[in-house]
Chain A
Amino acid sequence: MGARRRLKLAVWKFASCDGCQLSLLDCEDELLALAGALEIAHFPEASRAVAKGPYDLSLVEGSITTPHDAERIHQVRRASKVLVTIGACATSGGIQALRNFADVGEWIPLVYATPDFIHTLKTSTPIANHVPVDFELHGCPVDKRQLLEVILATLNGRRPVLAAHSVCFECKRRGTVCVLVADGTPCLGPVTRTGCGAICPAYRRGCYGCFGPLKNPNTAALGERLRILGQSDADLVRAFRGINAGAEAFRRESESHEPR
């Protein structure tokens, strides 16, 4: 294994807050091993030294919100053997996908003194809408253990082993008392993909759905249950229209609670 070639790693940023790439730098105990296993070829947040592609593994953070980025992602794809998107922005469009439900043209003059300088798209969309993606790592931000697993799997030429069940599994394994059942607190845990370690319910908060929807979640049944617990349609629109507003299942559920 010592003879293994060091993989060339690149980290790319699109419309995002940088929190997900920071998760990589946050791998403090593993950083030396990471630097040993990978050649960090392109990672502006970590180093000004930039090596030319092609790259073995590209981690892509952020969503596509500008015409320029819609072009740039194709260059990244061309330069990457394996392309993994990291975080809610890259996998579902992020919080900035709220623009998808409104007219971004109306917002621009409210925010910018000189709207003419702003060249933006009407929507914020995930990377997979633009180029083929080899693996999507969810979360806002991504979980660093999951990120390491993705890197480790790529190093070993296998698929990452990441659970895709509900957050509820994790609450129960941890011994966290269900906030929805015991407190009547609205919680997206039953329809949200695991990965964070079920942090919020452990602090008696409902899950915000940072890791996005499960595969085929029953959001309608949860919406109905939350309505019985006293949530208004407006509350439900907000609950499903958060960090993963652009994820298909959450988008549909939020739209089903909009006034007609």
Chain B
Amino acid sequence: MPETAVETGVECAIEVADLDPLLGALRERGFTVMGPLLRDGAVIYDEVRSSADLPAGWTDRQEPGSYRLQRSDSPRLFDFTVGPSSWKRFLHPPALRLWQAHREDGGFQVVDVEPPPPRLAFLAVRACEIHAIAVQDRVLLGGPHVDPAYRARRAGLFVVAVQCTRAGATCFCASMKTGPRAGAGYDLALTEVLEAGRHWFRVEVGSERGAEVLAAVPHRAVRPGESAAAERALAGVAEQMGRTMETAGLPALLRRSPEHPRWSEVANRCLACGNCTMVCPTCFCTTVEDTGDLAGRTAERVRRWDSCFSAEFSYIHGGSVRPSIRARYRQWLTHKLSTWHDQFGESGCVGCGRCITWCPAGIDLTEEVRALQASKRRKEDRRADA
């Protein structure tokens, strides 16, 4: 069946019909495959059992505070950009029981209650999302305090990337240098090509595991001209992005701007609902809740996603450190784009645009950053004039 030697760095091709064998090969190796599905008017990520589950013929239109699915006139399977789900849902779950304890004679016994997580394979991971996973790796695995729940899910993760052949109006990964092209961090990377009536995928092999899986799937060598066709499919994506962000000097600018009037202005529009942090693929904050039963025999601790936008998030004895929405928005944006560098050596933003699209108030962080930068420029201009 294999027609060409498959190894890391090699390019092959598979037909659309070979996606199901690819899913089958992953399942045979014990993976649960998560991928894009249509649900409730959006492309979300959940378990994909067959290629028929994929959102063929659908695309999306995104604007600040607005997401609409649209029929496309094409049979493409991956003609959409990122939706409200991010892969962190599976690697860093929204709710997790950390432990349960049972009272016993004179003491108590702590028991593990969560079943071991499934071996995960992700299908259709975009370049910005590969970077987002790497950002969370540094946060949750990088320091002296490793998160065991994340580690258990992350270890052995199989990544099938999909190279973006279109960009959305809220995308700006090109500015953040995280895309649109996925160059590493995947086991296999697919480029969907629909040209001259032919619908196929270029497959880039990113790891030995990727090579081993692809070898089990009908595939062939790339024919003359096909590489160029795949490159044509990827051309112009960066230019299609509806948003940009100037990152030069941004961490320092934010450090210097805690009293900028723009924070009050954005606070008038911000709902402090926390949606931006929930959809953000890098936001990682959690809280824990302890509960017990009425008989006083069982207690448990549950960890849940939390957000710096809630008043209780910064509650310490005596009150909330950030009682105003102004303080909370400033905290989020400054952490994401400035103090994240100090903490983790990189930006906390990958330019996926989810926080822009899924903000019910349509707040656009690239616009907020531009406003902060513009007044800085005005100041510099005045200084130059003087």
Interface residues of chain A, those whose CB is within 8 Å of chain B, are 1, 4, 30, 33-34, 36-37, 148-149, 151-152, 155-156, 161, 163-166, 168-169, 172-178, 180-184, 187, 189-191, 204, 214-218, 220-222, 224-225
Q: Taking A152-B294, A175-B85 as contacts, is the C-beta distance between A169 and B278 under 8 angstroms?
A: yes
Tell yes or no: B218 within 8 A of A by CB. Answer: no
Tell which of A4, A221, A222 has the most Cβ of chain B within 10 Å.
A221
B167 surroundings in chain A (CB, below 8 A): none
Tell yes or no: B365 within 8 A of A by CB. Answer: no
Question: Contact: B40 with A182, CB < 8 Å?
Answer: yes
B358 to chain A, nearest CB (A): 5
Bound together, the chains give a CA A155 to CA B294 distance in angstroms of 8
Looking at B185-193, B199-207, B221-229, B266-274, the stretch in contact with chain A turns out to be B266-274
A55 to chain B, nearest CB (A): 18
B69 surroundings in chain A (CB, below 8 A): 182
B295 surroundings in chain A (CB, below 8 A): 33, 36-37
Question: Contact: A165 with B294, CB < 8 Å?
Answer: no
Bound together, the chains give a CA A204 to CA B41 distance in angstroms of 10
Tell which of B67, B85, B290 has the most Cβ of chain A within 10 Å.
B67
Bound together, the chains give a CA A188 to CA B279 distance in angstroms of 19
A174 surroundings in chain B (CB, below 8 A): 94
Report, nearest first, the 8 A-B pairs whose CB atoms are least far apart: A172-B278, A190-B273, A173-B94, A165-B310, A1-B296, A33-B294, A190-B271, A177-B40
Question: Contact: A221 with B357, CB < 8 Å?
Answer: no
Tell yes or no: B289 within 8 A of A by CB. Answer: yes
Q: Which residue of A lies closest to B64 (CB)?
A: A181
Question: Contact: A173 with B305, CB < 8 Å?
Answer: yes
Question: Contact: B307 with A169, CB < 8 Å?
Answer: yes
Tell yes or no: B361 within 8 A of A by CB. Answer: yes
Question: Contact: A182 with B42, CB < 8 Å?
Answer: yes
Tell yes or no: B336 within 8 A of A by CB. Answer: no
Bound together, the chains give a CA A152 to CA B279 distance in angstroms of 33
B279 surroundings in chain A (CB, below 8 A): 172
Question: Contact: A218 with B270, CB < 8 Å?
Answer: yes
Question: Contact: B305 with A175, CB < 8 Å?
Answer: no
Question: Contact: B41 with A222, CB < 8 Å?
Answer: no
Bound together, the chains give a CA A29 to CA B199 distance in angstroms of 56
A-B contact pairs, 28 of them (CB 8 A): A33-B293, A36-B294, A163-B312, A164-B312, A165-B310, A166-B271, A168-B275, A168-B278, A169-B305, A172-B274, A172-B305, A175-B85, A177-B44, A180-B65, A181-B84, A182-B40, A182-B67, A182-B69, A190-B273, A214-B272, A214-B311, A216-B311, A217-B272, A218-B270, A220-B268, A222-B361, A225-B360, A225-B362
Tell me which of B44, B270, B291 contacts A175 (CB under 8 A): B44
Tell which of B95, B274, B275 has the most Cβ of chain A within 10 Å.
B275
Tell yes or no: B383 within 8 A of A by CB. Answer: no
Q: Taking A169-B307, A181-B357 as contacts, is the C-beta distance between A175 and B89 under 8 angstroms?
A: yes
Q: Which residue of A lies closest to B275 (CB)?
A: A168
A222 surroundings in chain B (CB, below 8 A): 271, 360-361
A4 to chain B, nearest CB (A): 7
Tell me which of B68, B273, B306 contacts A168 (CB under 8 A): B273
**Contacts A30-B294, A225-B65 known; 20 new A-B pairs at CB < 8 A:** A1-B103, A4-B296, A33-B295, A36-B294, A152-B294, A161-B291, A164-B310, A165-B274, A169-B310, A175-B46, A177-B41, A181-B358, A182-B42, A190-B275, A191-B271, A191-B273, A218-B270, A220-B268, A221-B271, A225-B362
Tell yes or no: B29 within 8 A of A by CB. Answer: no
Q: Which residue of A lies closest to B305 (CB)?
A: A173
Tell yes or no: B39 within 8 A of A by CB. Answer: yes
Q: Which residue of A lies closest to B362 (CB)?
A: A225
Bound together, the chains give a CA A155 to CA B362 distance in angstroms of 45
Tell yes or no: B66 within 8 A of A by CB. Answer: yes
B300 to chain A, nearest CB (A): 12
B358 surroundings in chain A (CB, below 8 A): 178, 181
B310 surroundings in chain A (CB, below 8 A): 163-166, 169
Question: Contact: B103 with A173, CB < 8 Å?
Answer: no
B359 surroundings in chain A (CB, below 8 A): 181
Question: Contact: A218 with B325, CB < 8 Å?
Answer: yes
Question: Contact: A172 with B271, CB < 8 Å?
Answer: no
Bound together, the chains give a CA A34 to CA B274 distance in angstroms of 35
Tell yes or no: B236 within 8 A of A by CB. Answer: no
Bound together, the chains give a CA A172 to CA B283 distance in angstroms of 13
Q: Which residue of B lies closest to A30 (CB)?
A: B294
B294 surroundings in chain A (CB, below 8 A): 30, 33-34, 36-37, 148, 151-152, 155
Bound together, the chains give a CA A163 to CA B69 distance in angstroms of 33
B45 to chain A, nearest CB (A): 9
A166 surroundings in chain B (CB, below 8 A): 271-274, 310
Question: Contact: A165 with B271, CB < 8 Å?
Answer: no
Bound together, the chains give a CA A182 to CA B310 distance in angstroms of 23
B289 to chain A, nearest CB (A): 6
Bound together, the chains give a CA A237 to CA B83 distance in angstroms of 32
A173 surroundings in chain B (CB, below 8 A): 94-95, 278, 304-305
Bound together, the chains give a CA A181 to CA B292 distance in angstroms of 37
Q: Which residue of A lies closest to B296 (CB)?
A: A1
Bound together, the chains give a CA A17 to CA B68 distance in angstroms of 40
Bound together, the chains give a CA A1 to CA B65 distance in angstroms of 52
Which residues of chain B from 294 to 322 have any CB-CB distance to chain A below 8 Å in the complex? 294-296, 304-307, 309-312
Tell me which of A149, A172, A189 contacts B94 (CB under 8 A): A172
Question: Contact: A190 with B360, CB < 8 Å?
Answer: yes
Tell me which of B269, B290, B307 contacts A221 (CB under 8 A): B269
B85 surroundings in chain A (CB, below 8 A): 175
